[in-house]
Structures are given as structure tokens and as C-alpha cells.
């Protein structure tokens, strides 16, 4: 338990709640560390049947807290963000997300690894990696084209524009769109349904569905991380971050 990540376990459901509402649950290195440890605990606890992640204050997450991100950049595989990504990408137990408000960056890419995702009608998603001079992570460069098709994935990853819950539903990123304010209750109801199912059957079903792709997912994540780290120190990224903090439009015209 911490002030920024709340953990609760009840009735076989392991709940992770991002709890930094004043920052739209923007993620810090410490939050990544806590969540990575939480996923490991949930996976190891036989009493846990399903893992649910949500956000407090009407938002899922605005993605990385850029100030914290630049202060402690993830320059090797031991960085908490990579431990968290590896954790959710290799979960054996069902992983469910309840999404309201914004789901930016990793807030969207982690959904590609969830088994069930429920979104509020007002939820907004974005993958702004290229806009920041960066590149995709969490195997999204592999999974997003497989999920939504090459053309739509190119729009989402290369333009980095915000898209709606309805678009996410049509693209297969979320399972259902429900009224804002009801998302968590709906997701919990689905989680409780899963807790009544045979746990071994659910784990094996998930394993079988992912079997053909799991090693490729892990290889892709490793390669993405290498490219991402290179981009972090690129002139493009430095310009993007300077523009963000300077509250101005970035100028990439001088870079090839």
C-alpha cells in the first residue's frame, strides 16, 4: 500500500488502483516499482484468482509523469517500468482493466495484454510516442497491428492522436463500453464471475491463447526497449520534452 498505488485483495480479486488523481494518475518510477511487486505477489498467491487494475478520480492514467521520467530515465532492463511491463506481459492469471477518463501511452499499451477491458463512454486513448520523439513499447508495435490492422495501427502509433472509447471498441482494444461512473462496478462483476470459474482452466486457456505469440512478444519488448532507450537521448526527444515543459509547439524540422 502507498499513497499513489492502492492494493486491495478480497474474494479472490487482487485490485491495483492508481491513486494520484491530481496528476490524472501519471506514473512515476516508484509507482512502477510498486505495481511490478504487486503483480509478482498476485501471481504467487494461490488465493488470488484475478487481477484488476483501475484508476482513481475519474481517470485511468495520463501515462508517464515526464518530470519524474526524465529525472530517472529507464536506461536498462532493471528500470521499474520495464519490470512492470514484463510483469503484465507474462501474467498467467486473468488480468482485467477498468478504464475511465484518459489512458495515455502505457495506459493504452498495457490494455493489449489484458484479458478483459471495460471502458467508460467518455474514455480517451492515445499512443503519443512518436510525438515525443520516442517509439512504441510493451510489444505494441507487434500487438497493435495484429489487433486493429496495419492501417489503423499506423494512424494510432504514427500520428499519436486521441481516440474515443467507441473507436477502441470497434478496434478490439476494449471488450465493452459502459456509462461513465459504472465502469469499476461492471469490471468487478466480471472479475467475480471469473473467480467462480476453475482457476487452472482459466490459466491454461490464457496460456493456450498466447502460446504462439509469447516468445515473440518478449523478443519484441526487448528490441523495443533498446530502440526506446536510444531515442530518449535523441535530439528529437530533447526538443519534444523541452517544448512540453516550455508549453510550446515542438519544431522537428531540423532533424532527419
- Contact status, residue 213 vs residue 150, Cβ threshold 8 Å: no
- Kindly indicate the confidence band of residue 243, based on its pLDDT and cuts at 50, 70 and 90: very high
**C-alpha to C-alpha distance for 206 and 59, rounded to whole angstroms:** 28
Structural domains in the chain plus CATH codes: 1-180+199-256 (3.90.226.10)
Query: 45 phi and psi, to 5 degrees?
Result: -90, 115
Q: Name the pLDDT band for 2 (thresholds 50, 70, 90).
A: confident
Q: Distance between CA atoms of 220 and 214, rounded to whole angstroms?
A: 10
pLDDT digits 0-9 by tens, 165-180: 999 999 999 999 999 9
- For residues 169-205, one letter each, b for 16 or more C-beta atoms within 10 angstroms of the residue's C-beta and e for the rest, the string is bebebbbebbeeeebbebbbebbeebeeeebeebeee
The pLDDT value recorded for residue 190 is 98
Contact indicator for 148, 173 with CB cutoff of 8 Å: yes
Q: Which three cell numbers stand for residue 2?
A: 502507498
pLDDT, the chain, mean: 97
Confidence of residue 159 (pLDDT cuts 50, 70, 90): very high
pLDDT of residue 47: 97
- pLDDT tens digits along 9-41: 999 999 999 999 999 999 999 999 999 999 999
pLDDT value, residue 148: 97
Tell me what percent of the residues of the chain surpass a pLDDT of 70. 100
Does position 59 have pLDDT exceeding 70, yes or no?
yes
Crossing angle for the helix pair 140-148 and 214-232, to the nearest 10 degrees: 120
Q: With cut-offs at 50, 70 and 90, classify the pLDDT of residue 256.
A: confident
Sheet containing 102-104, strands listed edge to edge, beginning at the edge strand earlier in sequence: 102-104, 124-126, 163-164
Distance CA 143, CA 126 (A): 15
Amino acid at each position: 500500500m502507498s499513497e499513489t498505488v492502492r492494493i486491495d485483495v478480497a474474494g479472490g480479486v487482487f485490485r491495483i488502483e492508481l491513486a494520484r488523481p491530481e496528476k490524472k494518475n501519471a506514473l512515476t518510477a516508484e509507482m512502477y516499482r510498486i505495481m511490478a511487486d504487486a503483480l509478482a505477489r498476485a501471481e504467487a498467491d494461490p488465493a488470488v484468482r484475478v487481477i484488476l487494475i483501475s484508476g482513481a478520480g475519474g481517470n485511468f492514467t495520463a501515462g508517464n509523469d515526464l518530470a519524474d521520467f526524465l529525472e530517472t530515465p529507464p536506461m536498462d532492463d532493471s528500470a521499474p517500468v520495464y519490470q512492470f511491463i514484463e510483469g503484465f506481459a507474462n501474467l498467467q492469471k486473468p488480468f482485467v482493466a477498468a478504464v475511465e477518463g484518459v489512458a495515455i501511452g502505457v495506459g493504452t499499451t498495457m490494455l493489449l495484454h489484458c484479458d478483459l477491458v471495460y471502458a467508460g463512454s467518455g474514455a480517451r486513448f492515445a499512443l503519443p510516442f512518436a510525438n515525443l520523439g520516442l517509439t512504441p513499447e510493451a510489444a505494441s508495435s507487434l500487438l497493435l497491428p495484429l489487433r486493429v490492422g496495419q492501417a489503423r495501427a499506423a494512424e494510432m502509433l504514427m500520428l499519436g492522436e486521441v481516440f474515443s472509447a467507441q473507436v477502441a471498441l470497434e478496434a478490439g482494444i476494449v471488450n465493452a463500453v459502459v456509462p461513465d461512473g459504472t465502469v469499476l462496478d461492471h469490471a468487478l462483476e466480471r472479475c467475480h464471475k471469473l473467480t467462480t470459474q476453475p482457476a487452472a482452466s482459466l490459466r491454461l486457456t490464457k496460456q493456450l491463447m498466447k502460446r504462439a505469440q509469447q516468445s515473440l512478444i518478449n523478443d519484441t519488448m526487448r528490441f523495443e526497449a533498446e530502440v526506446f532507450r536510444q531515442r530518449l537521448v535523441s535530439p528529437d526527444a530533447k526538443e519534444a520534452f523541452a517544448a512540453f515543459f516550455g508549453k510550446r509547439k515542438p519544431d522537428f524540422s531540423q532533424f532527419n
